Structure 1
Amino acid sequence: MIISQINAFVPEKILDNKTLSKKFNVSEEWIYKRTGIKKRYISDMDVFQMGINAASSLNLDGVDTILFVSSIGAHYVPFYVRVFEKLKLKKLHYGIDISNGFVGFITALHVADVMFRENIANKILIIVSERLSELVEDKDINTAILFSDASVAMILENHDNYICDHKVMYDPNYLDALNINENKKIIMDGKRVYKFAVNNMKKIINKYIENYEKKIIVPHQANKRILESVKKSFNDLEFLDIIEDYGNTGAVSIPLTLFKTYGNSKIQLKDHLLISVGGGMTTSAITWRCIDE
Structure 2
Amino acid sequence: MGVRIVSTGSYLPDRVLTNFDLESMVETSDQWITTRTGIKERRISKGETTSDMATEAAVRALGDVSPENLELIVVATATPDSFFPSTACKVQSKIGNRGAVAFDVSAACTGFIYALYVADSIMRSKGVSRALVIGAERLSKIVDWSDRTTCILFGDGAGAVYLETSEDEGILGFDLGADGSYGELLAVPSVGSNEEFPYYIRMKGNEVFKVAVRTMVESALRVLEKVGMKPEDVSLLIPHQANLRIIKAVSERLGINQEKVFVNLDRYGNTSAASIPVALDEALRSGKLKRGDVALLVAFGGGFTWGSCVIKV
* TM-score (norm: length of structure 2): 0.84
CA contact (8 A) 2:159 2:275 kept: no
State the shift of 1:133 in Å. 0.9
Question: Mapping of 1:104-253 within 5 angstroms?
Answer: 104-162=111-169, 164-181=172-189, 182=195, 183-210=198-225, 211-213=228-230, 214-215=233-234, 216-236=236-256, 238-253=260-275
Structure 1 pair 149–212 and aligned structure 2 pair: CA distance change class (3 A): same
Gaps of 5+ in 1: none
Following superposition, the deviation at residue 47 of structure 1 comes to 0.3
Is the contact between residue 3 and residue 267 of structure 1 (CA under 8 Å) also seen in structure 2? no
Q: Distance in 2 between matches of 1:261 and 1:191?
A: 30
Shift of 1:164: 4.4
Displacement after TM superposition at 1:190 (Å): 0.7
Give ranges in structure 2 of 5+ residues lacking alignment: 190-194
| Bigger mean CA deviation after superposition, 95-104 or 13-22 | 95-104
Q: RMSD between aligned alpha carbons?
A: 2.3
Distance 2:7 2:310 in 1: 19
Aligned residue pair count: 288
- Which of 95, 100, 108 matches 2:107? 100
Query: Within 2, Cα distance between the matches of 1:47 and 1:142?
Result: 24
Are residues 1:259 and 2:276 paired? no
Q: Percent identity?
A: 30
- Cα distance, 1:84 vs structure 2: 2.5
- Please tell me whether the aligned partners of residues 160 and 278 of structure 2 are also in contact (alpha carbons under 8 angstroms): no
- With 41-50 and 157-166 compared, the bigger mean Cα shift is at 157-166
Name 1:35's counterpart in structure 2. 37
Is contact 2:223-2:309 (8 Å) kept? Answer: no
Moved over 6 A (4+): 264-267
CA distance in 2 between counterparts of 1:269 and 1:131 reads: 33
Distance between the aligned counterparts of 1:193 and 1:204, measured in 2? 16
> What residue in structure 2 maps to residue 60 of structure 1?
65
Deviation at residue 177 of structure 1 after TM alignment? 0.8
* Aligned residues of 1:93 and 1:120 also touching (Cα < 8 A): no
Partner of 2:95: 87
Shift of residue 168, structure 1, vs aligned partner? 2.2
